Amino acid sequence: MTTKRSLFVRLVPCRCLRGEEETVTTLDYSHCSLEQVPKEIFAFEKTLEELYLDANQIEELPKQLFNCQSLHKLSLPDNDLTTLPASIANLINLRELDVSKNGIQEFPENIKNCKVLTVVEASVNPISKLPDGFSQLLNLTQLYLNDAFLEFLPANFGRLTKLQILELRENQLKMLPKTMNRLTQLERLDLGSNEFTEVPEVLEQLSGLKEFWMDGNRLTFIPGFIGSLKQLTYLDVSKNNIEMVEEGISACENLQDLLLSSNSLQQLPETVGSLKNVTTLKIDENQLMYLPDSIGGLVSIEELDCSFNELEALPSSIGQLTNIRTFAADHNYLQQLPPEIGSWKNITVLFLHSNKLETLPEEMGDMQKLKVINLSDNRLKNLPFSFTKLQQLTAMWLSDNQSMLSRSFNSNFTAVSHCHYGSSRDLHGSQGSLALSIADGRDSGGHIFRMPLSNGQMGQPLRPQANYSQIHHPLPQASVARHPSREQLIDYLMLKVAHQPPYTQPHCSPRQGHELARQEIRVRVDKDPELGFSISGGVGGRGNPFRPDDDGIFVTRVQPEGPASKLLQPGDKIIQANGYSFINIEHGQAVSLLKTFQNTVELIIVREVSS
């Protein structure tokens, strides 16, 4: 989150203080393995404005620290604190306080005297309640209390009328105080992973709310009054028990991201098509038997995920989604696709595996920007001839279909770019397990295998003597054979094991304050059943909270005790996943690839570490 990260980026090295008589306003002792607050800082108690003691082993704060009355920022995350002294009330000019990732059990009542506090970050502490005095921090604009033990909020919590960001994820909340209807300036509210059984009615009054999380609760329906949130752009109510979404949601005229994954929905409201600004709709892992015809009204949608449902057909109106880039309808019961999907001129990623498809419409050849398509585990016997026009296609899965019949390709169609298999077996040539990738491979290198076809059977591949499976090995140069004529049937397959070029670690310059190096790390994450982390960034995306000038894919959240909890951390940049480069990749494509990987994902990440 960009706002939170601003606490940590302006650092001044403490080594600059050698004897010069100057006004010292900022000290940084982060990552110094300190067990106590350095006494030398008290020499600057009259001028010190910012103090960073992040990631040490400090167990208590000395009284003298609270004589630094000019202190504006106090950063103490990831230490061993168990209490926050009452003398913190002496810091009357304190504006930003970060005590996250400690063992603090409560705030002192007299924290109310820190009247100019605007930002409090106290996530990942065993805090079970807030003192009444906390509600007297009338200038508070941002409050982060994720992963604590809160069961309720103070009755007068609504006094914090300047709050713009409130994060209360992973607590034990069941209700909100009625006074919260006064938080009309609130823009971001995160109530994910609590114990709510319904959306609190008090939220109806939060007219300025833009981002709202209630995922991982016990909701059974989304009430119509959610439509009163006219400024809402992001709504995540995934991983609940939702059986119905009331039609009033259509009044959320500015909604861009709607996440309804992992619920018990059997249908969507007919009014869903009124959400003209929605760019992402996730309705995967529900019990949907059909999509309403009004789905065609989502004219701005770029990503639609309806996988893991009970769909038997797609409405023809789905062809009106001409801006769509990523579509997932895998693990359904689709027998055919409407020809109207040929109007998806911007589609790049298409997941249709694990259905009952027997044929594909010729119109799919008009998807000129299609790069990745998964058709494995269907009942296909052949591909449309129009697929020869898909010049940007770089990966196709066809394993576990019926025997694929050879088709002729035009002379402009070149060799395959990726070969993927849906099972652990290699190339055995058995009918029904043919995995073929077709693409324009003119600019790609690799080792080419040639396998004759006889009666629809694949021969055993000729293995290369060298092993090019490691991404850091240089790739041999190879020319790409072309099919000689349009009329000639394919009598062999060109299967090319393609690899991304090795990642070159960029030169790393030290940050101001303390030097950071970038370390390349390989990790293996086993799905259980999900990966347990979320990402942000990507080309054309909304950026990331760690390096705003970098359009790479970054880990933003890691689920505690999840499959990635001991492997990844926020700020890790994903370079590669299961052999696919994540450099210069769109956000939606990255999400879709991570979703489609089975069981295990091998990642290459870059992490900033203290040198």
pLDDT digits (tens, 9 = 90+) for 291-319: 999 999 999 999 999 999 999 999 999 99
What is the arithmetic mean of pLDDT over 15-24?
58
- The pLDDT assigned to 600 comes to 86
**DSSP symbol at 538:** -
CA distances from 491 to 416, 436, 468 (A): 15, 14, 26
What is the arithmetic mean of pLDDT over 317-339?
97
For the chain, how many residues are written? 611
- The pLDDT assigned to 497 comes to 26
Out of 7-16, 313-322, 352-361, 410-419, pick the least confident.
410-419
Out of 176-180, 299-303, 341-345, 454-458, pick the least confident.
454-458
Q: Which amino acid is at 565?
A: S
CA–CA–CA angle 456, 462, 465 (5° rounding): 165
Give the separation between CA 193 and CA 190, rounded to whole angstroms.
9
- The pLDDT assigned to 560 comes to 79
Q: Judge whether 448 and 418 are in contact, CB under 8 Å.
A: no
- The pLDDT assigned to 587 comes to 83
Residues facing residue 121 across a β-bridge: 98, 144
pLDDT bracket for residue 542 (50, 70, 90): low
Give me the helices (H) in 508-609, please: 587-596
Q: What are phi and psi of 348, to 5 degrees?
A: -120, -30
Closest CA to 148 of 177, 120, 128: 128
- Reported as half-sphere exposure (CB side, CA atoms, 13 A), residue 433 has a value of 13
Give the separation between CA 284 and CA 155, rounded to whole angstroms.
38
Q: Judge whether 434 and 401 are in contact, CB under 8 Å.
A: yes
16 pLDDT more than 80: no
- The pLDDT assigned to 23 comes to 85
- The pLDDT assigned to 419 comes to 38
- The pLDDT assigned to 573 comes to 94
Residues 6+ apart with CB under 8 A from 224: 246, 247, 248, 249
Looking at per-residue confidence, does 504 or 340 come out higher? 340
Give the separation between CA 243 and CA 265, rounded to whole angstroms.
4
Give me the helices (H) in 176-281, please: none
- Note the pTM of the prediction, 2 decimals: 0.69
**DSSP symbol at 13:** B
Count H helices, E strands: the chain?
2, 28
- The pLDDT assigned to 423 comes to 32
Does an H or E element contain 3, and which?
Answer: helix 2-5
What is the arithmetic mean of pLDDT over 339-348?
98
Highest-pLDDT range among 22-36, 291-305, 441-455, 556-570:
291-305
Out of 162-176, 275-289, 301-315, 544-558, pick the least confident.
544-558
Residues 6+ apart with CB under 8 A from 9: none
- The pLDDT assigned to 466 comes to 30
pLDDT bracket for residue 470 (50, 70, 90): very low
Out of 117-131, 208-222, 447-461, 587-601, pick the least confident.
447-461
Q: Which two tokens stand for residue 579?
A: 């052999």
What is the arithmetic mean of pLDDT over 432-437?
33
Q: What are phi and psi of 526, to 5 degrees?
A: -95, 125
User: Strands, E, within 414-542: which ranges?
Assistant: 447-454, 457-458, 492-497, 516-526, 533-537
Label residue 377 left, alpha or beta by phi (over 0 means left) and psi (-120 to 50 means alpha). left
Q: How far is residue 574 CA from its own chain's centroid?
A: 11
Q: What share of the chain is helix, strand, coil (3-state, %, to 5)?
A: 15, 20, 65
What is the separation, in whole angstroms, between the first and last Cα of the chain? 25
Q: Which amino acid is at 333?
A: Y
Closest CA to 390 of 454, 436, 438: 438
Mean predicted lDDT score pLDDT of the chain: 81
Residues 6+ apart with CB under 8 A from 6: none
Out of 94-98, 176-180, 434-438, 476-480, pick the least confident.
476-480
Q: What is the pLDDT of residues 222-237, one digit of tens each?
A: 999 999 999 999 999 9
What percentage of the chain exceeds 70 in pLDDT?
A: 76
- Reported as half-sphere exposure (CB side, CA atoms, 13 A), residue 227 has a value of 14
Rounded CA Rg of the chain: 28
Q: Which two tokens stand for residue 34?
A: 């300190």
Looking at per-residue confidence, does 171 or 534 come out higher? 171
Looking at per-residue confidence, does 431 or 514 come out higher? 514
Does an H or E element contain 2, and which?
Answer: helix 2-5
What is the arithmetic mean of pLDDT over 409-434?
33
Closest CA to 301 of 283, 285, 281: 281
Full set of structural domains in the chain with CATH: 1-122 (3.80.10.10), 516-610 (2.30.42.10)
Highest-pLDDT range among 156-160, 449-453, 605-609:
156-160
pLDDT bracket for residue 22 (50, 70, 90): low
What is the arithmetic mean of pLDDT over 523-531?
85
Strand order in the sheet with 492-497: 457-458, 447-454, 492-497
86 pLDDT more than 70: yes
Pairing of strands 447-454, 492-497: antiparallel
Q: What are phi and psi of 296, to 5 degrees?
A: -65, -15
**Helix, strand or coil, per DSSP, at residue 602:** strand
**Helix, strand or coil, per DSSP, at residue 377:** coil
Give the separation between CA 129 and CA 143, rounded to whole angstroms.
14
